[in-house]
C-alpha cells in the first residue's frame, strides 16, 4: 500500500509499527520552521538505506526499510 501524507500520518503509522518502508523527499527550500517529521517520541527504529535518487532541480529522495525496533 502506498500512503502519501505528512508528519502526523507518518508518526501515527510508525508508532503502531505499520510501515515497512519510508521514502523521504528533501526539497531544497529552507522554511526555518515546521513540523518535526518524526516528532518528539523516541521510536527506537532501525532504518536501512535502500536507495538514493537525486533529481535535476535539486530534490533528493532517500528510500529506507524500517527494521525492528532497537
pLDDT in tens, the chain (70 residues): 777 777 888 888 888 888 889 898 998 888 777 777 777 776 678 899 999 999 999 999 999 999 866 5
**CA diameter of the chain:** 36
pLDDT of residue 44: 76
Domain residue limits, the chain: 7-69
pLDDT of residue 50: 97
DSSP string for residues in 3-28: ----HHHHHHHHHTT--SEEEEEE-S
For domain 7-69, give the CATH number.
3.40.430.10
Amino acid at each position: 500500500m502506498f500512503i502519501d501524507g505528512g508528519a502526523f500520518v507518518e508518526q501515527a503509522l510508525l508508532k503502531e509499527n505499520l510501515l515497512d518502508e519510508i521514502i523521504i523527499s528533501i526539497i531544497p527550500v529552507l522554511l526555518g520552521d515546521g513540523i518535526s517529521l518524526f516528532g518528539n517520541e523516541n521510536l527506537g527504529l532501525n532504518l536501512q538505506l535502500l536507495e538514493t535518487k537525486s533529481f535535476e532541480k535539486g530534490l533528493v529522495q532517500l528510500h529506507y526499510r524500517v527494521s525492528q525496533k532497537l
